[in-house]
Amino acid sequence: MGLQTHGFNFRKSSAMTPTTTPVATGASPSGSASAAFPNFSPGKRIFNFSAGPAALPEEVLRQAQQDIWNIFDSGIGIMEHSHRGPVFDRVIEEAKADCRAIANISDDYEVLFLQGGATTQFAMIPMNFLSPETTADYPDTGVWTTKAIKEAKLFGNVNVAFDGSKVGYTYVPSDDEITQTPGAVYMHYCSNNTIYGTQYNQPPASNSPLICDASSDIFSRPIDINRHAMIYAGAQKNLGPSGVVLVIMRKDLIEKGRTGLASMFSYANHAKNDSRLNTPPAFGIYMMGQVFKWILRQGGLAVLEKRNAEKAKLIYDAIDESGGFYKGVARPDCRSHMNVTFRTGNDELDKKFISEAAKHDMDGLKGHRNAGGMRASIYNAFPLEGCRVLAEFMRDFAKANG
């Protein structure tokens, strides 16, 4: 049955692909695609190990092809609809409902879709909740927490509750290694660190409201929402395209936010206006909603956790069984299932690995400049087969170059 809204009957499209499938335009002989990927051909897709923007589910991309042209048989594409019209009303309401279903999010929390990505949250959080008279705790486990700490210091006192720079950011702290401030207004941590490939196995214990930057592992495994006052994630790794951030925030925390802020930096204003204080990133919200539906179709977070563990194990086994040819960056007990980081210990050999991998249709394996080496980002949408191909290539490369 169609959804009756504002006098219109919007039927869910039954087609997963548009009538005419767009064909990629071939690169010229000197074009970047041909130069980087000798086996490239128009319309071909390769294994995308990029840390973000990252791989999206292919069935979501095909649905988007249809809905960019004509969504819900409205005769208009999703990017052309008014953000205050009935079509987008349906899009955002379904996205919120599916998000709540995925993580069992209660009515005690708001689900918001905001602009500026996770980096804007680095400033927006302390802007709302921190002051020169108060302190927030920040365990520093890598580049993104370092950036968040820098922004927070503009608004109040910051306690670096763990200094990961002293251990090369090779692991995340145990609860005993985190020094908390009595009466802290919140503790902020990053659940998965893309650059060094470390991940918390569980949220840290906190005596203050717990805030999580889950940008690179959101909905990759079951998550205890109720232990957190706020969880946020930039979309471009596990949820959709860049340009939108998911914010899940307890309503009582929103109410504690500072008043008198510029409108766009107030969580309360965004909550009151249903994430539409101004024109929102409508296409990004639509795409995130489609990814939510895809997650539910997969069977939910427990299924994805098992799948992600299997994918990561293929690559970690290739590292561990290499006889020391490959060296993992992260301490084994803190290894990420989203970002597998490793190196050979020889910069020239690392460059050769990345170059030869590209010839075998594997892109995005160059490590971040802060960590060097290689990084395989294998978010929810990345296929198991790609991990098998990489692991086989790693073994062949080690034999040929060891």
Q: First-to-last CA distance in the chain?
A: 62
332 prior amide bond cis, ω within 30? no
What's the length of the chain? 402
CA 170 from centroid of its chain's CA atoms: 20
| Residue whose token pair is 């840290």 | 204
What's 335's DSSP letter? B
User: CA 134 → CA 106, 184, 203, distances in Å?
Assistant: 29, 7, 23
Mean per-residue pLDDT over the chain, rounded? 91
The amino acid present at 368, given as its one-letter code, is H
| Cα–Cα distance for residue pair 281/258, rounded to 1 Å | 25
| Cα–Cα distance for residue pair 281/116, rounded to 1 Å | 10
Domains along the sequence of the chain with CATH? 86-298 (3.40.640.10), 301-401 (3.90.1150.10)
Q: Is the pTM of this model over 0.85?
A: yes
Tokens for 208? 């203050």
Q: Which helix (H) or strand (E) holds 291?
A: helix 282-298
Nearest to 209 by CA among 193, 191, 192, 189: 189
Residues 6 or more apart whose CB falls under 8 angstroms from that of 94 comprise: 289, 293
HSE-CB at 270 with a 13 A cutoff on CA atoms is: 25
60, 290 in Cβ contact below 8 A? yes
User: CA 377 → CA 24, 93, 151, 215, distances in Å?
Assistant: 25, 31, 27, 13
Q: What is the DSSP string of 189-238?
A: EESEETTTTEE-SSPPP-SS-EEEE-TTTTTSS---GGG-SEEEEETTTT
Per-residue pLDDT of the chain (402 residues), as tens digits, is 333 333 333 334 433 344 444 433 333 334 455 555 556 566 789 999 999 999 999 999 999 999 999 999 999 999 999 999 999 999 999 999 999 999 999 999 999 999 999 999 999 999 999 999 999 999 999 999 999 999 999 999 999 999 999 999 999 999 999 999 999 999 999 999 999 999 999 999 999 999 999 999 999 999 999 999 999 999 999 999 999 999 999 999 999 999 999 999 999 999 999 999 999 999 999 999 999 999 999 999 999 999 999 999 999 999 999 999 999 999 999 999 999 999 999 999 999 999 999 999 999 999 998 888 999 999 999 999 999 999 999 999 999 998
Nearest to 295 by CA among 223, 363, 232, 390: 223
- Catalytic center residues: 144, 213, 237
Nearest to 380 by CA among 292, 248, 319: 292
User: CA 104 → CA 115, 228, 253, 254, 391, distances in Å?
Assistant: 24, 13, 19, 20, 35
